[in-house]
């Protein structure tokens, strides 16, 4: 990574995207940490405790393709600034929901946050547009590595909520997040996005892609994102409720486990870009599948803080390999002039699966227990493994970057 930074990977736009990524990730980590607990207090039925997180993920899923289309016509900068301002609104809705003890209003806030996160998910693709195609994997890894700051800030906002605002009920965390999003809107307004990538100019997007014409390797990339995000969301959504509400672990321990998980999602980016350059994106996908198998073993071994912590750290690392590998493979396998449209399809599928997973997590946890939450993840992982075996040696299109 250091050699790549010296080789011109880091640039002004990438720095602005990295700083903004920290802020958006912190809001997501904050919501995951506290939303299930808020739901357990405000929801009319305990099975609906994870509904606020589900609304966040659903908002991302529903807005993924419109966000890509918005930026296809009006540009990345306009979309990103709009997302930051929408996130400020989401904090306001959540604040009112907590102060009025309104579960529906709080869910409206998390849903609005999800819409803004749909735009921020395009940060990783925008990052590839600021560098040469050969540096795409490293740019995605660097962007995700910057999210370590968000992994620290988000749960810390929850832990220090009452110091920010003494009313209690996590309102202080929302006030702090709103301030950060105002800062993000300013940073994103400074983007130029005149990079070296082959998709930097949105006006060049002239090739339309239908589902029937998506290349096979692009399907593998999309499947990796769907399984990685879906499994991660399913387990991550259930974990705070299982730990704090059902197993009786402290809020501090629960926040620490979520923090460790989010850190584990992004710290592997120190090496994932190098691993792609050395072994190829598909090898990284194989590593992610292996780590997910280890996650299931750790989660089924017990329900102490150590078991939860180990499982969530492994879950984060496996997600990183699948997400970075899938994103890079999608850039490598898609036609340059159809990138934005295919990215919209990708994020719709990825976050659609996550929305389904987050909705299902609360009910599975409530009626079947933590063990069945883990067992349910085995099936999509096995299906992805089968697809990987079938396409592991398929050649990349000639417009792709070599899959070394």
According to the 3-state scheme, what is the secondary structure of 95-118?
HHHHHCCCHHHHHHHHHHHHHHHH
The residue with tokens 């999003």 is 181
Q: Which residue has the higher pLDDT, 319 or 206?
A: 319
pLDDT at 169: 65
One-character DSSP codes across 159-227: HTHHHH-TT-TTHHHHHHHHHHHHHHHHHHHT-----SSTT--GGG------GGGS-HHHHHHHHHHHH
Instruction: Note the pLDDT tens digit of each residue in 211-269.
Output: 666 778 888 999 999 999 999 989 988 888 888 878 778 877 887 888 788 788 878 87
Mean pLDDT value of segment 26-37: 82
The residue with tokens 């989010």 is 262
Question: From CA 139, how far away is CA 195, in angstroms rounded?
Answer: 12
**What's 134's DSSP letter?**
G
3-state percent helix, strand, coil for the chain, nearest multiple of 5: 80, 0, 20
Q: By three-state DSSP, how is residue 395 classified?
A: coil
The per-residue pLDDT of the chain, averaged, comes to 81
- The sign of the CA dihedral 35, 41, 44, 46 is positive
**Six token digits for residue 404:** 């070394």
Mean pLDDT value of segment 86-110: 92
Instruction: Note the pLDDT tens digit of each residue in 127-186.
Output: 877 777 667 767 777 887 777 787 778 877 887 766 656 556 688 888 888 999 999 999
Percent of residues, the chain, with pLDDT higher than 90:
26
Q: Using 50, 70 and 90 to split pLDDT, how confident is the model at 79? A: very high
State the Rg of the chain over Cα. Answer: 20
Q: Using 50, 70 and 90 to split pLDDT, how confident is the model at 196? A: very low
Write b or e for each residue in 163-184: b if 16 or more Cβ atoms lie within 10 A of its Cβ, otherwise e: ebbeeebbbbbbbbbbebbeeb
Range name among 198-212, 231-245, 335-349 with the lowest pLDDT average: 198-212
- Give the number of residues written for the chain: 404
Range name among 4-8, 167-171, 351-355 with the lowest pLDDT average: 4-8
- Is the Cβ–Cβ distance between 378 and 289 less than 8 Å? no
Mean pLDDT value of segment 360-371: 85
pLDDT at 297: 92
pLDDT at 202: 44
**Six token digits for residue 375:** 């067992």
Q: Which domains does the chain have, with CATH numbers?
A: 7-193+213-391 (1.20.1250.20)
pLDDT at 92: 93
The residue with tokens 């409530």 is 366
Residue 402 in this model has a pLDDT that exceeds 50 = no
Mean pLDDT value of segment 329-350: 75
273-to-78, 88, 281, 328, 388 alpha-carbon distances in Å = 29, 32, 9, 9, 20
Q: Using 50, 70 and 90 to split pLDDT, how confident is the model at 205? A: very low
Q: 270: which residues sit within 8 A by CB, 6+ positions away?
A: 1, 141, 145
Question: From CA 113, how far away is CA 264, in angstroms rounded?
Answer: 23
Residue 53 in this model has a pLDDT that exceeds 60 = yes
* pTM for this predicted structure: 0.70
Question: From CA 340, how far away is CA 200, in angstroms rounded?
Answer: 10
Question: From CA 329, how far away is CA 320, in angstroms rounded?
Answer: 14
Q: Using 50, 70 and 90 to split pLDDT, how confident is the model at 210? A: low
Mean pLDDT value of segment 185-206: 64
Q: Which residue has the higher pLDDT, 155 or 209?
A: 155
Q: Using 50, 70 and 90 to split pLDDT, how confident is the model at 400? A: very low
Residue 72: closest CA among 205, 182, 239: 205
Question: From CA 320, how far away is CA 266, in angstroms rounded?
Answer: 6
Alpha helices in 49-102 (DSSP H): 51-74, 76-99
Segment of 61-70, 137-146, 265-274, 304-313 carrying the highest mean pLDDT = 304-313
Instruction: Note the pLDDT tens digit of each residue in 274-301.
Output: 788 788 888 999 999 999 999 999 999 8
Cα angle 118, 181, 57 (rounded to 5 degrees) comes to 30
Percent of residues, the chain, with pLDDT higher than 70:
85
pLDDT at 332: 79
Residue 70 in this model has a pLDDT that exceeds 60 = yes
The CB density around residue 386, as the number of other CB atoms within 10 Å, is: 9
Question: From CA 323, how far away is CA 315, in angstroms rounded?
Answer: 12
pLDDT at 6: 46
Cα angle 210, 339, 1 (rounded to 5 degrees) comes to 145
């Amino acid at each position: 990574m250091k050699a790549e930074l010296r080789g011109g990977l880091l640039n002004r736009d990438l720095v602005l995207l990295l700083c903004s990524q920290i802020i958006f990730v912190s809001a997501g980590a904050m919501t995951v940490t506290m939303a299930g607990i808020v739901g357990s207090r405000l929801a009319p039925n305990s099975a609906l405790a994870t509904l606020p997180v589900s609304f966040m993920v659903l908002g991302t899923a529903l807005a993924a393709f419109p966000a890509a289309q918005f930026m296809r016509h009006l540009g990345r900068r306009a979309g990103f600034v709009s997302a930051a301002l929408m996130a400020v609104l989401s904090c306001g809705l959540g604040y009112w929901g907590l102060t009025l003890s309104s579960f529906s209003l709080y869910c409206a806030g998390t849903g609005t946050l999800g819409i803004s996160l749909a735009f921020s998910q395009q940060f990783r693709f925008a990052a590839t547009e600021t560098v040469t195609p050969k540096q795409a994997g490293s740019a995605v890894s660097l962007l995700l590595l910057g999210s370590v700051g968000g992994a620290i800030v988000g749960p810390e906002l929850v832990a220090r909520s009452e110091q920010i605002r003494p009313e209690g009920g996590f309102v202080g965390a929302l006030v702090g997040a709103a301030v950060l999003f105002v800062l993000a809107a300013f940073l994103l307004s400074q983007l130029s996005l005149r990079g070296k990538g082959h998709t930097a100019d949105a006006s060049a997007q002239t090739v339309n892609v239908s589902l029937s014409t998506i290349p096979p390797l692009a399907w593998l990339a999309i499947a990796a994102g769907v399984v990685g995000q879906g499994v991660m969301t399913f387990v991550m959504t259930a974990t705070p409720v299982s730990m704090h509400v059902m197993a009786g672990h402290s809020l501090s321990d629960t926040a620490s486990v979520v923090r460790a998980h989010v850190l584990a999602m992004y710290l592997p980016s120190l090496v994932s870009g190098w691993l792609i350059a050395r072994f190829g994106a598909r090898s990284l996908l194989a590593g992610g599948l292996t780590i997910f198998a280890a996650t299931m073993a750790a989660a089924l071994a017990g329900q102490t803080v150590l078991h939860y912590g180990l499982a969530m750290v492994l879950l984060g690392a496996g997600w990183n390999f699948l997400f970075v590998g899938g994103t890079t493979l999608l850039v490598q396998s898609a036609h340059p002039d159809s990138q934005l449209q295919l990215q919209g399809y990708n994020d719709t599928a990825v976050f659609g699966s996550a929305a389904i997973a987050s909705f299902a997590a609360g009910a599975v946890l409530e009626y079947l227990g933590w063990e069945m939450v883990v067992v349910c993840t085995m099936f999509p992982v096995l299906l992805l493994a089968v697809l990987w075996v079938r396409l592991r040696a398929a050649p990349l299109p000639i417009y792709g970057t070599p899959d070394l």
